[in-house]
Amino acid sequence: MKILMVTSESNPFAKTGGLADVVYALSKEQAVLGHEVSIVLPKYGSLMQTENLQMRFIASVPVSLGWREQVAKIFKTVLDGITFYFVDNEYYFAREGLYGYYDDMERFAFFTLAVRNMLEVIKLKPDIIHVHDWQPGMLPVLIKKQNKDQPFYKKMKFVLTIHNPAFQGMFDPNLIVDFYGLPIRLYDNGLLRFNDRASSLKAAIMTVDKITTVSPTHASELLTPEGSKGLDPIINLRRDDFVGILNGIDYQEFNPLKDPNLPLNFSNRSLNRKEQLKKLLFEELNIDYHGQALYGMVSRLTWQKGINLVLEAAELVLQKGASVVIVGSGEYGYEQEFERLRARYPNTMAIYIGYNNQLAHRVYAASDFFFMPSLFEPCGIGQMIAMRYATLPIVRRTGGLNDTVIGYDGQNEDEATGFVFDEYNRYWMNLTTLFALEIYQDKELLKKLRLNTMRVDNRWEKSAKEYIALYEEVVK
Ligand code: GLC
């Protein structure tokens, strides 16, 4: 099958969150299964890992957003069996970072139009166009409304994956006409209307052939008002075409036995090396070592991730002599609060504000426990990576965290893989965090739980096959 992933992020080039990991690892696995997979994303100014890469310019594609006549330059490269296409336009994309500009709606409208226009120019005719999240959400609408009679587009089928329902691509309805050249009727008849604005996420939900989200638990949450950020009536309309497929993680990138980012590798037979790794990480970060427990976190620092809870629980265990290491960036207020915490515990806490993949690997590997008490979490990747490195996640029971972590309840030491609490509040978070510290004293039990995590299988293979089966259902 010919598959085209349309996305605003993909490893190894552009990443702010799990979306980048998922698009890339899923594509890689589908390529291994024998499919022809390409990924298209914007050519951001901040594209990473482009040194030594043969990136070829292959076409210039005219794009008109209403009266704005623009050109998209298309670049191409092949990596890990995947063909990457980059949509270049300096005005829109040669900026720092990926998002957060006043004209983001226009930037991704340009991207979406450019992808549609590019297909014919470069003669790329996928069987499946798989769009991710709101950014390319208007693509199926465009093709279905403007190109449906052209034989080139006729057989293309569409799949949408919702990675995060909190981002809905809301925009001024006038832009349906102005950017996309589509009739305002699509707003008036409700197809694109959501809470009295236009929404590119709704647009995709209403027009694709199949909709997925990234875990079975989140799929059921999206059918409820509480869990869906208001999308539930829309998803309920399409519930027969809607399914949750659990994400995996990249077992090549995250491999304790081979990870080149670690000063020391380990397996289930050399678990005691984790203590060594902790010592070395402490040296790197100027933390005093006295055999204390380490709580790690690698995360975007945003409200979704339960940072409020982490701030308080972190202080509790710091008071008891444990250590905390945080890697991530996000909301300025949170960054500042972590800085203040570090100032109070300069010898036992460290924080790295920003994106540092290599350090992140070392934190996953060296930690005893991994904070991830999300308010909501469609799937979550960090907890799976942590478990791969025998680090016990502390999670709230929500979304994919519920599907991937078995909480220790005092009796189930043969199967538990972490700590789980139900209600989102400081009481349960603090209790659970302190419970973990108790377990830290019981080295036998700790070892048992660590071995359990290392037996968990979160490879992509199974999920990649589920996606293929879904594609096959729609192309037949
Ligand atoms: C989003 C979700 C996260 C999920 C990731 C990849 O970032 O918030 O839960 O793991 O997408 O699907």
Same domain for 292 and 185: no
Same domain for 369 and 242: no
CA of 309 to the centre of ligand 1 (A): 19
Same domain for 469 and 447: no
Binding site membership of 214 for ligand 1 (Cβ less than 6 Å): yes
Structure pTM?
0.95
pLDDT attached to residue 267: 97
Whose alpha carbon is nearest atom 10 of ligand 1?
380
Whose alpha carbon is nearest atom 1 of ligand 1?
163
Whose alpha carbon is nearest atom 12 of ligand 1?
163
Same domain for 429 and 340: yes
Binding site membership of 18 for ligand 1 (Cβ less than 6 Å): yes
Q: Ligand 1, from 23, 379, 383, 405: best to mutate by most atoms within 8 Å of Cβ?
A: 379
- In ligand 1, the atom with minimum distance to the C-alpha of 214 is 12
pLDDT attached to residue 461: 94
Euclidean distance between CA atoms 245 and 309, whole angstroms? 28
CA of 382 to the centre of ligand 1 (A): 10
Is residue 111 domain-resident?
yes
Is residue 102 domain-resident?
yes
Whose alpha carbon is nearest atom 11 of ligand 1?
163
- In ligand 1, the atom with minimum distance to the C-alpha of 163 is 11
Same domain for 296 and 170: no
Euclidean distance between CA atoms 141 and 149, whole angstroms? 14
Euclidean distance between CA atoms 323 and 344, whole angstroms? 12
Euclidean distance between CA atoms 303 and 300, whole angstroms? 9
Q: What is the DSSP letter of 355?
A: -
pLDDT attached to residue 79: 96
Euclidean distance between CA atoms 43 and 338, whole angstroms? 33
Same domain for 205 and 285: no
CA of 155 to the centre of ligand 1 (A): 30
Euclidean distance between CA atoms 94 and 48, whole angstroms? 13
pLDDT attached to residue 453: 98
pLDDT attached to residue 355: 84
Same domain for 230 and 82: yes
Same domain for 327 and 422: yes
pLDDT attached to residue 312: 98
Is residue 53 domain-resident?
yes
What is the percent of the chain with per-residue pLDDT over 70, rounded to a whole number? 100
CA angle 469, 475, 476 (to 5 degrees): 90
Same domain for 203 and 142: yes
- In ligand 1, the atom with minimum distance to the C-alpha of 19 is 6
pLDDT attached to residue 67: 87
Same domain for 186 and 156: yes
Euclidean distance between CA atoms 186 and 194, whole angstroms? 12
Binding site membership of 22 for ligand 1 (Cβ less than 6 Å): yes
Euclidean distance between CA atoms 463 and 250, whole angstroms? 12
Beta carbons of 429 and 421 less than 8 angstroms apart: yes
Residue written as token pair 């996420």: 201
Q: b vs e for 94-116, b when ≥16 Cβ sit within 10 Å of the residue's Cβ?
A: eeeebeeeeebbbbbbbbbbbbb
Domain hosting residue 383, numbered range: 273-457
Whose alpha carbon is nearest atom 7 of ligand 1?
18
pLDDT attached to residue 345: 98
Same domain for 470 and 327: no
Which amino acid, one-letter code, is at 386?
A
- Counting beta carbons within 10 angstroms of the beta carbon of residue 427, is it exposed (0 to 12), middle (13 to 18) or buried (19 or more)? exposed
pLDDT attached to residue 49: 81
pLDDT attached to residue 66: 87
Same domain for 35 and 148: yes
CA of 19 to the centre of ligand 1 (A): 6
CA of 460 to the centre of ligand 1 (A): 15
Is residue 385 domain-resident?
yes
Binding site membership of 133 for ligand 1 (Cβ less than 6 Å): no
Is residue 268 domain-resident?
no
What is the percent of the chain with per-residue pLDDT over 90, rounded to a whole number? 96
CA of 184 to the centre of ligand 1 (A): 32
Q: Ligand 1, from 134, 164, 217, 460: best to mutate by most atoms within 8 Å of Cβ?
A: 164
CA of 400 to the centre of ligand 1 (A): 9
Is residue 261 domain-resident?
no
CATH of residue 136's domain is 3.40.50.2000
pLDDT tens digits, 47-67? 988 888 899 999 999 999 988
CA of 65 to the centre of ligand 1 (A): 30
What residues in the chain have per-residue pLDDT under 70?
Answer: none
Give CB contacts under 8 A, 24+ apart, made by 91-97: 92/42, 93/42, 93/43, 93/44, 93/45, 94/44, 94/45, 95/44, 95/45, 95/46, 96/45, 96/46, 97/16, 97/44, 97/46
Is residue 121 domain-resident?
yes
- Token output for 140: 């199926």
- In ligand 1, the atom with minimum distance to the C-alpha of 380 is 10
CA of 174 to the centre of ligand 1 (A): 31
Binding site membership of 379 for ligand 1 (Cβ less than 6 Å): yes
Total structural domains in the chain? 2
Beta carbons of 63 and 71 less than 8 angstroms apart: yes
CA of 247 to the centre of ligand 1 (A): 9
Is residue 430 domain-resident?
yes
